[in-house]
Chain A
Amino acid sequence: MLYSIIRVEEKLLIRAAEKMGLEMEKIDDRECIFGLSNDIWHYDVVLERCISHSKALYALKFLNEYGIKTVNTYDVAACCGDKAFTSIAFEKNGIPTPKTFVAFEPESAIKAIERIGYPAVMKPVVGSWGRLLAKIDTRNTAEAIIEHKEVLGSYLHQIYYVQEFVDKPQRDIRAFVVGDETICAVYRESAHWITNTARGAKTVECKVTDELNDLCVRAAHAVGGGIIAVDVMETKSGAYTVHEANYTMEFRNSIVPTGIDIPAKILEYVVGVAKR
């Protein structure tokens, strides 16, 4: 297991591996070295659990080029780790997703927002845990947020990713897809429009209907498949719309409400990949 730091999830995976009698080596990404040819890495499969998207991408690229199986793959990480790429994959594969535009300059970002209409949501293309999301209600707000993003450090803040605001019922759905099955799902409930558990949302079990399972598995396959957490919103009309796919999913708050041993399911899948 390649990791940056052992969080609750990685600890649960280590303990699950012990319970299942699997030989798991912990690989700290801070100690890794990758050469252009491989004489260092010899594993049946690598479960990637880096907390840093950039490090995960490079590590997976090297490992996959060496012919080492990984969960997830470089292609999946590249797609899920960038919201614009994820949106493209959803659209291409017929997954319902909020209307989205990408622009590169402040003036064109305003045009993109006004094509969508207020309120709109602006998100960093790379980022997680609900950080730096902005709900934009007026042109004045749009101009202020864009001005701030112009001076933020990373060049990626000038890739303006603008999305339709979905007026959801104070919750969204986080569904856990492992291979070809949605193993469980939770509602993430919050009075705030941002419903990430990292921002305080509470998790409650969401029954996985055939419709939800089908949608989430298709969404996971759209980004390349593997172990994917799919984020789904319910629209006012009762339809589902999928807004995100996460390739290094956090699940600490979803085991108790669902009763599903998520780390064991992950490891069973990883062992299956090693045997392919």
Chain B
Amino acid sequence: MVNGECIECGKHIDLADAEEGELVTCPECGTEMEVVSLTPPSLEPAPPEEEDWGE
């Protein structure tokens, strides 16, 4: 079981199926974070949206 911790509210976040570089959202407080590492699990604030982002 790989767990991370929300950087805002501290809630445990299940990272068992996560990928490094993945965007995850805290189910408790809605904070968006990036999984920067799985070994050890580490979450950082998601990069802020930029003007040329899109599809």
Task: Report A's interface with B, CB cutoff 8 A.
Answer: 3-7, 10-11, 14, 26, 28, 51-54, 126-129, 131, 153-154, 229, 246-250
Contact between chains at A11 and B54 (CB < 8 Å):
no
Q: How far does the Cβ of B18 sit from chain A's closest Cβ, in whole Å? A: 9
Contact between chains at B19 and A14 (CB < 8 Å):
yes
Contact between chains at A52 and B50 (CB < 8 Å):
yes
Sorted nearest first, the 3 A-B pairs with minimum C-beta distance are A128-B54, A6-B22, A53-B52
Contact between chains at A127 and B46 (CB < 8 Å):
no
Contact between chains at B19 and A129 (CB < 8 Å):
no
B5 in contact (CB, < 8 A):
no
Contact between chains at A11 and B50 (CB < 8 Å):
no
Residues on B with C-beta less than 8 A from A54 are: 52
* Minimal Cβ-Cβ distance residue in B for A8: B23
Cα-based distance from A131 to B54 in the complex (angstroms): 10
- Give the contacts of B35-55 with A (CB-CB under 8 A): 35, 46-47, 50-55
Task: Report B's interface with A, CB cutoff 8 A.
Answer: 19-23, 34-35, 46-47, 50-55
Contact between chains at A5 and B19 (CB < 8 Å):
no
Q: How far does the Cβ of A87 sit from chain B's closest Cβ, in whole Å? A: 17
Contact between chains at B52 and A5 (CB < 8 Å):
no
Contact between chains at B55 and A26 (CB < 8 Å):
no
* Minimal Cβ-Cβ distance residue in B for A153: B51
Contact between chains at A11 and B19 (CB < 8 Å):
yes
Cα-based distance from A52 to B55 in the complex (angstroms): 8
Contact between chains at B52 and A28 (CB < 8 Å):
no
Q: How far does the Cβ of A84 sit from chain B's closest Cβ, in whole Å? A: 15
Contact between chains at A51 and B54 (CB < 8 Å):
yes
Q: Which of A6, A52, A126, A249 contacts B23 (CB 8 A)?
A: A6
Cα-based distance from A247 to B55 in the complex (angstroms): 6
Cα-based distance from A137 to B20 in the complex (angstroms): 46
Q: Could you list 25 examples of A-B contacts with CB < 8 Å?
A: A4-B47, A5-B21, A5-B22, A5-B23, A5-B46, A5-B47, A6-B19, A6-B35, A7-B23, A10-B19, A28-B21, A52-B50, A52-B53, A53-B53, A54-B52, A126-B51, A128-B53, A128-B54, A128-B55, A129-B53, A129-B54, A131-B54, A246-B55, A248-B54, A249-B55
